[in-house]
Amino acid sequence: MNERIQKLRLQSLNAEYKISAERALHVTEFYKTPSNYGYSVPVQRALCFKYILENKKICILENELIVGERGPAPKATPTYPEVNLHTIEDLKVLDSRQKVFFKVDSETIIAYRDIIIPFWQGRSHRERMLHQMDESWLDAYAAGVFTEFQEQRAPGHTVLGDKIYKQGMLEIITEIERTIEKLDFFNDPEAYSKREELRAMAISAEALIIFARRHADVLDSEGRSDLAEICRRVPAYSPRNFHEALQYYWFVHLGVITELNPWDSFNPGRLDQHLFPFYQGGLEEGTLSKESAKELLEAFWIKFNNHPSPPKVGITALESNTYTDFALINLGGLKEDGTNAVNELSFLMLDVIEEMRLVQPSSMIQLSNRNPDNFLHRALNIVKTGFGQPSIFNTDAIVEELVRQGKSIEDARNGGASGCVESGAFGTEAYFLTGYFNITKILEITLYNGIDILSGKLIGLRTGDPKEFSSFEMLMNAFKSQLNYFIDIKIKGNNIIEQLFSVFLPVPFLSTLIEDCISKGKDYNSGGARYNTSYIQGVGLGSVTDCLASLKYNVFDKQHITIEEILKAMKNDFIGYEGMRFELIRNSPKYGNDDDTADDHARKVFELFYDSVNGRPTARGGTFRINLLPTTSHVYFGSKIGAMPDGRKAYEPLSEGISPVQGADLKGPTAVLKSAAKIDQLKTGGTLLNQKFTPSFFKDEQSILLIASLVRAYFKMDGHHIQFNVVSADILREAQKYPEKFRDLIVRVAGYSDYFNDLGEDLQNEIIRRTEHNGPV
């Protein structure tokens, strides 16, 4: 990387994470102004968005090539009081916590105390939402049965298609106006709400143009007329070259994450595809070289790193305890016509990923049968350097998953994965993640006949005292009843929350970007997208499988331990029952060893979870689906569960993603992949499999070839995703001891990479424990 990029990168790495009250103050000022009272909700939201972009401080750093910051400075992170109003106590926690902190200065505290809190108290989404949740939801939430993504953040989780590379915002406004003209107020009962939504979209599109021109003015005054010209061109008009295309996306990205705090943030998706025509055109005209393209991409990369995920507190912080905001750049895969999409730019972007070594943006390669091996090998050579990127996805599986969900094959091929591992049709789908679901906790509740053992409260159904279960099937039936009961609670909550966002917090700006919001005259949060999906993310598959396998094997098959004895040992956290615990750990079948006696339970649990959720309608006219990924919720969920029949002690983390319980897989990586492939992954919207390898596995070209065939074989079995942590446990222990020496140590957590130092100690320990497959000596 050249000197300019080096400086910008360092500046980004060293920037301080802090809270900026700027946005919260603008939003408050706007909503306090009486002349803004009379608008419809979408128009009000759009005008508020415009007010922010007209008034926020413009931040342009020296030597920048891509400009624009969400806050007044890099990593100065705004808050969204209309969604989640932080208390003074929250701000103090954010300021002082050891990990994933945000510094809060006294001015911010004063602004919150005197202006923001007095206005928003009682009006924030979080309060509105919690008022709406009934006791069964609140009990289940408190017990750690599930989490709620839309408690502190807005629905997001979408990815941009190729729209902005073809259309400027002025053209989009014209499209909106034409749609308004065609509204039929005589026959369409929704004509009014459509008009208000469409007007809101036009206002927000105009707001982005204003925001860009304010940058142009500042750049002009600084004598940087080349950049100023770009900011006058985009987003008003379609981009003419590589630089304009990147800058256009960046303004759009800032728009989306300023309008609300969607989870995940936003994502350019298939960047190598979208930019390729500009890249090729620039090379042909001689206006772009490979080096200048790389410099621009690196400058673009750094912008993502300047924008941490907005501050989370409480359970939301526990389930996703990271600065990462999950913009996942997709490389490779298939073109719309089904041909190989890997191009020169895909390789150039891999160079950028390797050089930048940044936590954000996340990056992945899509690997189809039709993609060449050298693409995979190049990616693995970066994986080898041990910062967990890029992760590797099976394009053919993603396409099949999306088509199964009813998407056209073209829309499916234009899709990919976002966030951690979630499949989506880019530019056409609104897929919300609604929360993690603690499948292992369901078994615990079943074993205690409906009681949450940690609180002693009856929160589930009375499905019977397990001591009276004469067969394993009776236990499974009880488990199924509890599972369906809690899924119902979760889905009821989701449907209310979805409506709350639809009514109170539409996102007209995001709606201009996703097809078919404009033609339907409907907001992204109200079902305006072509495809609408809501996911419930299952957690702890490995753990619950091992618990069931242990019960079946020890209690019902071998009959050498009674369920009464196991329950007694569990209640005592195995203290005084060490011998039994040893037996449960060492001599019971375990998921991850390609052993059907264990893996059949994984299949069964998967099918029950799938049947309970898949295909049910959502409030905005979409469909509920499942996927299996944890972010960091497996640690939180583990902390809400006592000792379990697989020998796991109370409060320890659960297995993550579809990986086996930490240390339970003893037959090496091929057995893990075989076990993981036994669940029908094509029926999900994504699964996450983490494999930790010591560096020796990647020691030479020959080893890389073997890892490559490991990946290809897993994908042949319809595996969705695999990621590699290349680091030795000794190094991690060392890093835990001397964090100051390992400030740059990045590890793969679960669908994303993070600084090892920023992880909580229990998660650090868990990563160390994850089976370390010994490489060839």
Partner 1 sequence: MKGIIFDIKRFSTNDGPGIRTTVFLKGCPLACWWCHNPESRSAGIQEFSVGSSSKTQTIKRIGECWSVDDLLVELEKDRVFFEESGGGITFSGGEPLMQLDFLMALANGCKKRGIHTAIDTCGFTDFGNFDLLLDKIDLFLYDFKQIDEIIHQKYTGVSNNQILENLKFLHSKSVNLVLRVPFIPGINDSENDISNMVLWMNENTPSFKEIHLLPYHSFAKAKYHKYGFENKLAELPEISESNLLEVKRYLMRNGFNVKIGG
Applying CB under 8 A, which residues contact partner 1?
594, 667-671, 673-674, 703, 705-706, 709-710, 712-713, 716-717, 773, 776-777
Tell me the closest approach of the beta carbon of residue 671 to partner 1, in angstroms: 6
738/777 with CB nearer partner 1:
777
Tell me the closest approach of the beta carbon of residue 419 to partner 1, in angstroms: 28
210/706 with CB nearer partner 1:
706
Tell me the closest approach of the beta carbon of residue 347 to partner 1, in angstroms: 23
CB burial of 80-114 (b: ≥16 within 10 Å; e: otherwise) equals bbbbbbbeeebbebbbeeebbbbebeeebbebbee
26/674 with CB nearer partner 1:
674
Measure the CA angle with vertex 109, ends 104 and 111; round to 5°.
125
Tell me the closest approach of the beta carbon of residue 528 to partner 1, in angstroms: 43
Active site annotation includes 64: no
Contact predicate 729/768, CB 8 Å: yes
Tell me the closest approach of the beta carbon of residue 711 to partner 1, in angstroms: 9
Closest CA to 504 of 535, 525, 522, 530: 525
DSSP 332-385: E-B-TTSSB---HHHHHHHHHHHHH--SSSEEEEEE-TTS-HHHHHHHHHHHTT
Q: Which tokens go with 304?
A: 């993502």
* 451 membership: H or E segment, kind and range: strand 451-452
Tell me the closest approach of the beta carbon of residue 375 to partner 1, in angstroms: 16
131/586 with CB nearer partner 1:
586
Tell me the closest approach of the beta carbon of residue 549 to partner 1, in angstroms: 18
Tell me the closest approach of the beta carbon of residue 773 to partner 1, in angstroms: 8
- Residues in Cβ contact with 507 at an 8 Å cutoff, skipping those fewer than 6 apart: 45, 154, 256, 259, 260, 262, 523, 524, 525
133/376 with CB nearer partner 1:
376
301/693 with CB nearer partner 1:
693
60/713 with CB nearer partner 1:
713
CA atoms of 122 and 113, how far apart (whole Å): 15
Count CA atoms within 13 Å of residue 454 on its CB side. 18
CA atoms of 665 and 511, how far apart (whole Å): 45
Contact predicate 424/416, CB 8 Å: yes
CA atoms of 583 and 560, how far apart (whole Å): 11
**Of 151, 298, 319, 422, which residue is the catalytic one?**
422
Tell me the closest approach of the beta carbon of residue 764 to partner 1, in angstroms: 27
63/709 with CB nearer partner 1:
709
Active site annotation includes 420: yes
3-class DSSP string for 454-503: CCCEECCCCCCCHHHCCCHHHHHHHHHHHHHHHHHHHHHHHHHHHHHHHH
58/717 with CB nearer partner 1:
717
* 178 membership: H or E segment, kind and range: helix 169-181
**Of 59, 231, 420, 517, which residue is the catalytic one?**
420
3-class DSSP string for 125-173: HHHHHHHHCCHHHHHHHHHCCECCHHHCCEECCCCCCCHHHCCCHHHHH
CB burial of 233-270 (b: ≥16 within 10 Å; e: otherwise) equals bbbbbbbebbbbbbbbbbbbbbbbbbbbbbbbbbbbbb
CA atoms of 751 and 687, how far apart (whole Å): 10
3-class DSSP string for 561-621: CCHHHHHHHHHCCCCCCHHHHHHHHHCCCCCCCCCHHHHHHHHHHHHHHHHHHCCCECCCC
Closest CA to 14 of 297, 305, 250: 305
Closest CA to 441 of 536, 544, 537, 542: 544
Closest CA to 51 of 81, 27, 78, 71: 27
72/775 with CB nearer partner 1:
775
Tell me the closest approach of the beta carbon of residue 443 to partner 1, in angstroms: 28
Give catalytic residues, as residue numbers: 420, 422
